[in-house]
Amino acid sequence: MASCNSCSAPLAPNTQYCHYCGVRNDVDLRGKHDYRVVTRESTRICPECNVNLQTIALDMQPPLQIERCVSCFGLFFDPGEVETLLETAVSPVFSINQELLGNINKDRYQKDKPVKYLECPECLNMMNRVVFGHRSGVVIDQCRAHGVWLDGGEISHLLEWKRAGGQILDQKNKAELQQKKRRPSESRAEIDMLMQNYGKPSAESDLLETVASLIFKVFE
């Protein structure tokens, strides 16, 4: 279990506030990912603290440049960079640990936390709140053009979610949804009905042709 940088008291999973001394801890990077500071003050602004974010390069191949707030330890990722980090930092996962996923979700999800919309560090437009993946429990703030903002602790949480197989579950769900969209059940019922009305075609090729033309009709 991680402990407070200031008083050494134990920290609850992926939380940055120490309940004993009130100090905020960098739970995402300290002791977990090496990085170097590229720009001390970038032009991007922390949506929580209103100070300039620092640009850092995470020590990985290829190096990933992200922005970091030195005050609240929130992180800003360009579009696709969270996915890259998950891909690079977690070795391939082949199974889903449902129990662990349930706990991860429970740990993170705070019902009483007030909903707050944040401004994009780059364009200052209000960001959208988006659930990152199935059962991750992490709601990220997203600007479609510039990227996503993660509060302190959230990237660590997503890495755990991926290790527990959360991303596999997510991809499975998306694939199932796509398939449902491609073959709507009502249309299939309609095809069956039409087939019955048409009666039995004489040869197999006729049957295929009839079915093909019917499918076209249904989807027109």
Q: Is 127 exposed, middle or buried (0-12, 13-18, 19+ CB in 10 A)?
A: buried
Tokens of 50: 């209103």
Question: Should residue 130 be labelled a site residue for Zn ion when binding is judged by CB under 5 A?
Answer: no
Question: Should residue 160 be labelled a site residue for Zn ion when binding is judged by CB under 5 A?
Answer: no
Q: Which amino acid is at 190?
A: E
CB of 219 to Zn ion, least distance (A): 38
Query: Using an 8 Å Cβ cutoff, are 41 and 87 in contact?
Result: no
Closer by beta carbon to Zn ion, 4 or else 104: 4
139-143 and 35-39 strand pairing: unpaired
Q: Which stretch binds Zn ion (CB under 5 A): 118-126, 155-163, 201-209, 211-219?
A: 118-126
Report which secondary-structure segment, H or E, holds 67: strand 64-68
Question: Should residue 4 be labelled a site residue for Zn ion when binding is judged by CB under 5 A?
Answer: yes
29, 46, 64, 214: which one binds Zn ion (CB under 5 A): 46
Greatest Cα pair distance, the chain, in angstroms, is 84
Question: Should residue 3 be labelled a site residue for Zn ion when binding is judged by CB under 5 A?
Answer: no
d(CA 48, CA 72): 8
Q: Which stretch binds Zn ion (CB under 5 A): 17-25, 76-84, 152-160, 174-182?
A: 17-25
By the criterion CB under 5 A, which residues form the site for Zn ion?
Answer: 4, 6-7, 9, 18, 20-21, 23, 46, 48-49, 69, 71-72, 120, 122-123, 143, 145-146
